[in-house]
Amino acid sequence: MLSRLRTSPWLRAALLVTGLGFCAYGLMAEWPQAHAALGRLHWYSVAAAALAAAAGAGCMMLAWRELLADLGSRLPLPAATRVIFVAQLARYVPGAVWTFAAQVELGRDHQVPGRRGATAVIVGLAVALGVGLLTAAATLPLSAASAARQYWWALAIAPVILLCLCPPVLGRMLDRALALAGRKPLERTPSWSGMAKAVGWTALGWLLWGLQAWVVIRDMTGGGTKVLLLALGGYALAWSAGVLAVPFPSGIGPRELALVAALAPVMPRGAALVVALTSRVVMTASDLAWAGVGLTIARPPARAATQPGTRSARAGRGRHRKITPGRTTLPGQDSGAGQAAGQAAQAAGQAGRTGQPGPVSPVR
């Protein structure tokens, strides 16, 4: 299937259209409740939440770009935007493999080797998940102890993920995984500096995504610092729970349930559901907007091909011209001149032995 995705533009287009269709279906299915939620919110809060969501997604893209550069392939910003955000549309298609496959194949369009692109996808997801769970573990006990107790299993994964992201450990794990898959090891493994840059961009992305939720919560509750910590930890936990719930496209369902549980200390369940649905609509709109930007500002580089009749082909034919009798050639003018002179000398020697006149060179 991956090979067909690599070679068939029709299959790529079908995957893109399918992703857009599921994305639109998600919006339509949630629109009645989301519309009611928007009626209770101020427009400037929704606009600020949309800007924060888009900015957070941009930071997550920059984190993935730094990881890919650390592995040996630095993409220009337009190309990175196209690869990461067009591939993100596949999250709305049931089945976790589609996003992975789309991102790897779009990276191939920009000369990113498949092995390197797949590694960047996996490590980038692990960084986002580890930093998100660490954010939730640091903030939820201070603001929503009940949510921390309910989702303790997710928070317990954070130290394990962070340990595995240490470059020496991560490098050995990647080499071992590639060896088991029958592949060669990576030319370069993640470094401390590259991982630090990726973690920094990811942490900034989580801060902006938390602000996206906080703007909506504050508009409904008027809360202060405690609500900010709750928004940061609650949304990070909800996003991580959605990622771990693999069968659900884009985490639809588990993400909203986790966010409602995290917001229980500051608002009733109905209001928390309004916040969760509004956040879903805002994040989906951000995915669509970024995908449109990626399709607009970047195109895959054209592949160079030598056609018959080009300059290089004509030059190749010129090196094999035949020497015609009676044609005078200058030294260096044709590579067959020395061979023709040797043949003439051999004919003259044979004529001397037989008493026959040899060939007469024309004189100009």
**Confidence band for 338, pLDDT divided at 50, 70 and 90:** very low
Which residues span the domain enclosing 231?
A: 15-22+33-296
**Considering the domain boundaries, does residue 67 fall inside one?**
yes
312 has pLDDT over 50: no
Is 28 within the bounds of a domain?
A: no
> What per-residue confidence (pLDDT) applies to 18?
65
In a domain, 142, yes or no: yes
Cα separation, 15 vs 234, whole angstroms: 32
Mean pLDDT of the chain: 75
Residue 351 lies in a domain: no
How far is 58 from 201, CA to CA, in rounded Å?
Answer: 9
pLDDT (tens digit, 9 = 90+) per residue, 147-182?
Answer: 667 777 777 888 888 888 999 999 899 888 888 888
348 is a domain residue: no
- Mean pLDDT across the stretch 213-239? 84
Is residue 312 in a domain?
Answer: no
165 DSSP assignment: T
Task: Name the DSSP class of 339.
Answer: H
pLDDT of 204 reads 96
Is 329 inside a domain boundary? no
Please return the burial class of 86, using the count of CB atoms within 10 Å of its CB with bins 0-12, 13-18 and 19+: buried
Is the pLDDT confidence value at 360 over 80?
no
In this prediction the pTM is: 0.71
pLDDT category of residue 237 using cuts at 50, 70 and 90: confident
Total domains present in the chain = 1
**15-53 pLDDT, tens digit each:** 556 655 665 665 566 667 656 666 777 888 889 999 999
**More confidently predicted of 298 and 345:** 298
DSSP line for 227-270? HHHHHHHHHHHHHHHHHH-TTSGGGTTHHHHHHHHHTTTTS-HH
Is residue 301 one of the residues assigned to a domain? no
Whole-number pLDDT of residue 363: 42
Which pLDDT score, from 0 to 100, does residue 321 have?
A: 42
Instruction: Quick: pLDDT tens for 56-98.
Output: 999 999 999 999 999 989 999 999 999 999 888 877 776 667 7
